[in-house]
Amino acid sequence: MDSIKDTCIEISDISPKTTALLIIDMQNDVMNMVPPGRQVIPVIKQVLDACRNKGISVIHKVRIQRPDGIDVERFRVEMFKNKPYLVEGTPGAEIVPELKPAKGEFQVKGARFSGFFQTDMQLVLTRLGVKNLVICGVQTPNCIRSTVTDAIGYDYDVILLKDAIAAQTEQVHEANLFDMKNMGVTIILSDEFLGMI
């Protein structure tokens, strides 16, 4: 899975005009919930800087919950009651400082796993003319996988940066990467992607 030869997208198909970088849930509270997420910040930062320099559109998907928690998943209701998280306007909901959005970058807010579910993600991507969606962030089995699945449903070519995403455990991470590769997702290392743009 570490080789560009295992990809589904031809290198010639990558163009700044039709490619977007989607950074998922790199927020302070999420880093506390998924500590391995902190380890991928430098990798994401390198990719983010390169995309900015190449004129590739950048979208930050942020997880935002209502203060009353009515919009959290059922299995997280008690957890939210005990310690609310990702509430809009709180420091925990802010994107980590290293990846703070620059002027002109988009933030798509959502309350559930998929970046497409009840958000304006599809509207933003359509308006930008995106064909290729490069995804990084956290966490692999939940928000990453749900967003990837929906992106495939909308006919985007999905590139997943293996070393720029994280999960609670390496086993869960690898199992989900295996499944997503079998869905037609291109899974490569960030350095390989940087060599493509």
Residue pLDDT, tens place only, 60-100: 999 999 999 999 999 999 999 999 999 999 999 999 999 99
Q: 111 near 86, Cβ under 8 Å?
A: no
Q: 18 near 130, Cβ under 8 Å?
A: yes
Q: Is the dihedral of CA 154, 72, 92, 37 positive or negative?
A: negative
- In the three-class reduction of DSSP (H, G, I as helix; E, B as strand; rest coil), residue 113 is classed as coil
> Would you state the CATH architecture of domain 4-196?
3-Layer(aba) Sandwich (3.40)
Threshold 0.95, pTM exceeds: no
Confidence of residue 11 (pLDDT cuts 50, 70, 90): low
> How far apart are the C-alpha atoms of 25 and 33, rounded to whole Å?
11
* Domain limits, the chain: 4-196
Report residue 59: phi and psi, to 5°.
-125, 130
Tokens of 116: 């497409």
- Calculate mean pLDDT across residues 133-157: 97
How many Cβ atoms sit within 10 Å of the Cβ of residue 83? 9
